[in-house]
């Protein structure tokens, strides 16, 4: 339980994601401890006192299994005695092989923040160039919807043209369209989106139109504080002017598309759009008694209309909208004829204002009060965040940016680095707490150190499992690694504890004590390991919807506990003897020597 406490001592990302899981583990372990100290002894005393026996030990398969296990135990004791004779060589070889192998494998394991969870949903975003009308928007969105519904994996879709739907909010925008695709159970969302992305390129769309299909994430789960939403990698540029930023952004986007193969990128924002700009001549407007509010309200009434009142029809109210005929305000010349009422005279809009077509930014993006250009990327199938970030950094480091333009540190990369650094912090705290608890119990530092040396074996075995299964290192892997620290030390505790008891009660040397304790503790060690491993096996296989989230935890604990237990059976006895001999040698050197003091007797004789 102590190895889980560091998660409760830190805040932020880990606290939000795993505080409930850690609290559940802590309370469950505490409850099991109370039951083990109270209920189990009581039931044992009652059941052991019963004269009735089920006779299951005489059942054929059970009898053969026990006989085979006893033979295996004797063989284990025989092999262990030979291993202890070569204990120094065994430990050096084990650490060289495990340490070197771990170093090589850890560098090849990908990194991520959280595993991708198959939500069985995907989102299609349609982005149109400025000037697109509703008819064109509906035509393209309908063609994309028809293609999506024709796929055998598609259950149904919810498609919107001319805007976006988000919860109960409706956003009207002629340059947007969207579709939420619900897939049939068992469909790989990532494979579906990658295949359909290529199919969507075959749809006839206006130049500048982008159709983007992405897997739907877990709603409400935001992993970084990046201003870019919906992406896994971000590139943020800051610069002096919008024009310089646009040029630098297009240059970087081109390089990323050509050289980065693990992700696909797009600009996170709309291109500049055309707009009608009305610039009043305030001196002439003042002559007619017109204010900005008067001109604005009149233009709004002419184009969009206003609602001065409502009519009641049955149980509902109907807006009465007053506006110009749409055909009378279709161009600049017609807009100039909009009448304004000033000083009891009718004035045309063109008399007090200049009307022209201009360009306006589709979206103004700022970070720390400075204008930015945002590039967002999504990982391709099979790609990891760590490898993709390395490719992006390599491309950016070779580019020469315009003067005044700089790249803001990536929020996704910073989150990934913080996650990896948290492993060292949490692992160190968990190991320290476990060591302190054992040192207090044993009233010694040597035995806790012997037991604690099972941790590197377990972590090396866990990394081997991640390498074989090609599982990326992320937040859930770290949770599993910290839990593994608390589980694996139990094997060393029960072996070392019995060896100390045998040595104290019978006065034998440490080699004899551990050779007698290890075979006696073989059965309980294997019982606890096998039950834990079998319980984690379904989680490691990733069976069921959404199991991808905790599958890395199952993989690291399953592999680490399985392989480390086999190593512990031989390495812990070697450490037990070596460390006690090593520290015992220093204790013997520091032991004070007896000094003979001369004694003066009567008669003048001196004796020692």
pLDDT digits (tens, 9 = 90+) for 553-569: 888 888 888 888 888 88
pTM > 0.75: yes or no: no
Report residue 112 as tokens.
């991520």
Q: Could you read off the pLDDT of 143-200 as tens digits, one per residue? A: 988 888 988 888 888 888 888 776 677 777 788 888 888 888 878 887 888 888 888 8
pLDDT, residue 594, reads 46
Sequence-ordered list of residues with C-beta below 8 angstroms from that of 376, at least 6 positions apart, any chain? 228, 230, 231, 233, 234, 265, 266, 267, 268
Question: Residue 305 above 80 pLDDT?
Answer: yes
Nearest to 423 by CA among 480, 385, 490: 480
pLDDT (mean) for 35-40? 88
What pLDDT, in 10s, does the model give residues 219-246? Answer: 656 555 556 666 677 788 888 777 788 7
Q: What is the mean pLDDT of residues 404-422?
A: 73
- Average pLDDT of span 303-310: 85
Angle of helix 13-37 relative to helix 411-442, nearest 10 degrees, comes to: 20
Percentage above 70 pLDDT, the chain? 84
For residue 464, pLDDT beyond 70: yes
At 479, which helix (H) or strand (E)?
helix 475-506
Among 535, 569, 567, 565, residue whose Cα is nearest residue 553: 535
Amino acid 53: pLDDT: 66
**Predicted pLDDT of residue 362:** 64
- 132 phi, psi to nearest 5 deg: -70, 135
Domains of the chain by start residue, with CATH = 2-21+87-114+416-585 (1.20.1640.10), 118-216 (3.30.70.1430), 273-360 (3.30.2090.10)
pLDDT exceeds cutoff 60 at 607: no
Tokens at residue 340, please? Answer: 């304004």
Average pLDDT value for the chain: 80
pLDDT category of residue 474 using cuts at 50, 70 and 90: confident
What confidence tens digit (pLDDT) does each residue in 569-600 have? 888 888 888 888 877 766 555 555 544 445 55
The stretch 354-372 carries a mean pLDDT of: 74
Residues 295 and 281: their CA atoms lie apart, in Å, by: 11
């Amino acid at each position: 339980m102590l190895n889980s406490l560091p998660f409760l001592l830190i805040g932020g990302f880990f606290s939000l994601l795993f505080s409930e899981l850690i609290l559940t583990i802590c309370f469950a372990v505490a409850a099991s401890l109370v039951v083990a100290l109270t209920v189990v002894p009581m039931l044992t005393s009652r059941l052991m006192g019963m004269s009735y026996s089920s006779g299951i030990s005489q059942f054929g398969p059970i009898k053969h299994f026990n006989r085979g296990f006893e033979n295996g135990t004797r063989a284990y004791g025989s092999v262990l005695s030979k291993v202890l004779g070569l204990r120094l060589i065994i430990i050096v070889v084990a650490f060289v092989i495990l340490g070197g192998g771990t170093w090589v494998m850890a560098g090849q394991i990908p990194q991520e923040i959280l595993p991708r969870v198959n939500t069985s949903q995907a989102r299609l975003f349609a982005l149109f160039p400025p000037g697109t009308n509703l008819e064109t928007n509906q035509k393209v969105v309908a063609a994309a919807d028809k293609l999506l519904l024709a796929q055998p994996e598609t259950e149904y879709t919810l498609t919107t043209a001319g805007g976006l739907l988000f919860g109960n909010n409706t956003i009207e925008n002629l340059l947007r369209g969207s579709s939420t695709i619900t897939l049939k159970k068992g469909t790989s969302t990532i494979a579906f989106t990658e295949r359909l992305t290529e199919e969507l390129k075959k749809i006839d769309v206006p130049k500048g139109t982008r159709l983007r299909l992405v897997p739907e994430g877990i709603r409400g789960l935001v992993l970084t504080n990046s201003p870019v939403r919906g992406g896994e990698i971000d590139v943020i540029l800051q610069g002096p002017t919008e024009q310089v930023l646009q040029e630098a952004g297009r240059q970087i986007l081109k390089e990323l598309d050509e050289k980065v193969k693990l992700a696909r990128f797009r600009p996170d924002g709309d291109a500049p759009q055309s707009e009608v700009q009305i610039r009043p001549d305030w001196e002439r407007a003042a002559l007619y008694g017109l204010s900005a509010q008067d001109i604005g309200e009149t233009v709004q009434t002419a184009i969009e209309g206003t609602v001065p009142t409502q009519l009641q029809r049955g149980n509902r109210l109907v807006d009465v909208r007053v506006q110009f005929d749409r055909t009378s305000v279709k161009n600049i010349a017609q807009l100039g004829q909009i009448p304004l009422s000033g000083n009891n005279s009718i004035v045309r809009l063109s008399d007090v204002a200049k009307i022209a077509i201009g360009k306006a930014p589709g979206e103004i993006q700022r970070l720390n009060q400075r204008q930015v250009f945002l590039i967002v990327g999504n990982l391709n199938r099979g790609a990891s965040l760590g490898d993709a970030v390395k490719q992006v950094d390599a491309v950016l480091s070779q580019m020469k940016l315009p003067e005044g333009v700089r790249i803001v540190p990536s929020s996704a990369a910073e989150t990934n680095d913080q996650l990896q650094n948290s492993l060292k912090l949490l692992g160190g705290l968990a190991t320290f707490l476990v060591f302190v608890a054992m040192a207090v119990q044993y009233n010694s530092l040597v035995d806790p150190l012997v037991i604690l040396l099972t941790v590197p074996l377990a972590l090396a075995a866990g990394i081997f499992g991640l390498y074989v299964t090609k599982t990326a290192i992320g937040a859930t892997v770290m949770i599993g690694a910290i839990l593994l620290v608390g589980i694996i030390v139990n094997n060393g505790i029960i072996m070392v504890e019995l060896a100390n008891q045998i040595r104290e009660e019978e006065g034998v040397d440490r080699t004899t004590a551990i050779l007698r304790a290890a075979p006696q503790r073989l059965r309980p060690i294997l019982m606890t390991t096998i039950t834990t491993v079998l319980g984690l096996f379904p989680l490691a296989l990733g069976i069921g919807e959404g199991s991808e989230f905790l599958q890395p935890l199952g993989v690291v604990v399953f592999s680490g506990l399985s392989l480390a237990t086999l190593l512990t059976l031989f390495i812990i006895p070697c450490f037990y003897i070596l460390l006690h001999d090593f520290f015992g040698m220093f204790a013997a050197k520091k032991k004070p020597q007896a000094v003979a003091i001369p004694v003066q007797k009567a008669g003048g004789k001196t004796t020692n």
